Structure 1
């Protein structure tokens, strides 16, 4: 075995990195699609062990985080993860200072371009925020998430505002609830589809804004391409021994990123990088 891909989420509330530890012990390459802040930094604490063992390990290497910076397809695991995130304070950064905000607050209407249009997004505690702040030195960072049809956002807002946070942090409770409502969600997905879109806006100190846009008609397929792109990068030697986030140059070599993004963007309906926000086709 040359590589293990850890996709058995949700990663929230896991206090051990058992799969990563096993990979390091057996000198096996590792990637995961982790979307938990605490879990990702717990995994990062095994960096020196992985480095000493010569094991390349890439964490948060799915689609969002991953290509945007993991998530699975539309199903109980993804819904369970979203509910668990509602029980967490949102960690964001403002002019270099860490701030805590309420989950699913701060609604914004964002244009995701042709085929998707304008959708509401809300603050969530996602690992790419802390990792880009720490690894890229960005002073102000936050991440937002939304769903469609809008009724899902109403439900998430209601849960975040009225359910006790202890209940939302209970992994058993959230996963059981997710399993109960999964058939209903699949019916709706069959009607409206399972599209996914991401947008990144980078504002420089001189006020210039650069935008990246990614859209695909099938979330599950898109996640598979993204996870496979990272796995291939590790197998091809683009990741150095140690535990890395994708944005670190040791995680994905700079000269390997164009190929990674080309693989991860297979089948997209919209993929734009490093464009002035006014030039985005909407």
Structure 2
């Protein structure tokens, strides 16, 4: 009934809405800019007239806005697509909630997409609170488990998805699909309870920075001083990051990489939604020198320095010329692998590869946003909370630009 009401209200108000207005907070950065480009690229396929789309890029720097606007415009022109109206909104997430809400209200967005990381060490989902107060649907790419949890605890009269994007986000949907597939087989179609000793292993690989910019680098630095959340036999275990190495075959041209434990909100959100007793997440990058450097930073740099968010951001920006130079050799490939298994020996493996992290995270984020606009029930969702229809809609969009999409089952009984 709630879903029907939301759709009816939207249809009644649609003649008075000035087109489709996407507000991307963090849209002046690489990830937000990519999301903005895909919001425009997908509009016609999603049933909207591109001429009615307005893209609002929220950020703190007008110069960064101009650069992002130019990148988005050039991408659309190269594809033979029309460039929509692109506007700038000055947004500072450290602004108190009342003026922040007024700022958001001033541009009358149809939906708010939050990509302004790093999310590490943020403790208040203030932008989500503003969206709820204004009855604006919401999506974010939050990769901080505690912040995801605080967001989930809020009540909402509009649909909102937290921890969306490629990983976390699409990766959690991949895991949910794999888990449900295994449970249907082992539990005679019942997906409501775990298989015996059910285990979810999440593995990720990104070549260099994946073209995603300084924020991704600084977020990785911050994660090196943050214990990795895992679950073992149903019990939470926080383990030192960058240990527990495993060799994982991602398939395609990526092949086998050595991945190590790193905190990932997918672990928390999947356990919350699925109650799987064993979950962990690991990551690798290239060249191998970066992996060794991360390990050296974790062991040799005092934690209080690694925890300094501003310092890590400055270090990331300072290092960017060298990082970009290395990126030019290693590429920007993003690979994800989900393995779900049980005590019986049955297993499901889901592997996905995209050529470019910046592109695929933008595509995934836009995919979540369009799914929200289709008329979801009001509430705060983790990606793994979504229903089968919503999951499949997101996966179908993300699949279109994948270079590998492999779903395998191994059933012994």
Using the size of structure 2 for normalisation, the TM-score is 0.63
Q: 1:178-237, CA deviations, whole angstroms, 9 ceiling, x for partnerless residues?
A: 001111111111122100000000012312111000101111111111111101100002
CA RMSD of aligned residues (A): 1.7
Q: Please, which of 378, 386, 390 is the counterpart of residue 241 of structure 1? A: 378
Could you tell me how far apart the structure 2 residues matched to 1:99 and 1:256 are?
Answer: 31
Matched, 1:32 2:140: yes
Give the length in aligned residue pairs: 268
Deviates more, 1:163-172 or 1:226-235: 163-172
Q: Within 5 A, what are the aligned runs for 1:125-204? A: 125-204=263-342
Could you tell me how far apart the structure 1 residues matched to 2:126 and 2:254 are?
Answer: 39
Q: CA, structure 1 residues 11+73, in 2 after alignment: closer, same or farther (shift >3 Å)?
A: farther
Larger helix share, 1 or 2: 2
Q: Please, which of 72, 79, 88 is the counterpart of residue 217 of structure 2? A: 79
Runs of 5+ consecutive residues of structure 2 not aligned to the other structure: 1-108, 173-208
Q: Within 5 A, what are the aligned runs for 1:92-107? A: 92-107=230-245
Q: Please, which of 395, 404, 411 is the counterpart of residue 261 of structure 1? A: 395
- Cross-structure match for 1:270: 404
Larger RCO, structure (CA 8 Å, separation 6 or more): 1
Deviates more, 1:252-261 or 1:143-152: 252-261
Runs of 5+ consecutive residues of structure 1 not aligned to the other structure: 278-282
- Cross-structure match for 1:18: 126
Q: CA, structure 1 residues 73+226, in 2 after alignment: closer, same or farther (shift >3 Å)?
A: farther
Matched, 1:67 2:170: yes
Could you tell me how far apart the structure 1 residues matched to 2:395 and 2:408 are?
Answer: 13
Matched position secondary structure for 1:68: helix
Q: 1:33-81, CA deviations, whole angstroms, 9 ceiling, x for partnerless residues?
A: 11111111121121x2x1xxx2111001100011101x98521100111
The Cα shift of 1:244 comes to 0.9
Larger radius of gyration: 2
